[in-house]
Amino acid sequence: MKGKASVLKIYISELDKINSAQLFEEIVKEAREFGLAGATVYRGVLSFGASHSVQTDKAFYQPEHLPVIIEIVDAEEPIRRFAERVHELIDLSQKGALVTIHPVEVVEYKPGDKYNEFGSF
């Protein structure tokens, strides 16, 4: 994959869950099963969203209560289709989120050595 593509960005809390599964892990798992090109989860250090509650990594907050950003890259059409599934997952979690789609240009995309840290994926 090279050239024009899209990035789906999902901003949620690390604590958000669907049943007992962490929402960010479920989204990445489903993105992989959907056949999307790739996904990365970033942990934030400070955020606020629509509810205006502040999340930070300062010592007086629980370290697992941090914002996470999931970035998923692929062609525009599969990204838009998967965004519909993300909407369903967020609804199931009954938590807040911000979801955006941005155009990007992929200049390099090639596989490296395979490894899988998550046996259940």
- Supply the CATH number for residue 72's domain: 3.30.70.120
Rounded (5°) CA angle 61-63-69: 110
Domain assignment present for 63: yes
pLDDT for 4 equals: 98
Task: Decide if 64 is inside a domain.
Answer: yes
Which structural domain range is residue 77 located in?
Answer: 3-105
How many distinct structural domains can be found in the chain? 1
Q: Is the pLDDT of residue 79 over 80?
A: yes
- Answer yes or no: is pLDDT of 18 > 90: yes
- To 5 degrees, how large is the angle CA 119–CA 117–CA 44? 120
pTM of the model: 0.83
The span from the CA of 106 to the CA of 102, in Å, is 12
Average pLDDT, the chain: 88
Q: State yes or no: pLDDT of 64 exceeds 90.
A: no
21 DSSP β-pair partners: 18
The number of beta carbons lying within 10 Å of the beta carbon of residue 91 is 11
Pairwise pLDDT comparison (60 vs 108), residue with the higher score: 108
- Name which residue leads in pLDDT, 69 or 110: 69
Would residue 99 count as lying in a domain?
yes
Task: Identify the band that residue 116 occupies on the pLDDT scale cut at 50, 70 and 90.
Answer: low
- Whether 114 is in a domain gets the answer no
Distance between CA atoms of residues 84 and 95, nearest Å: 16
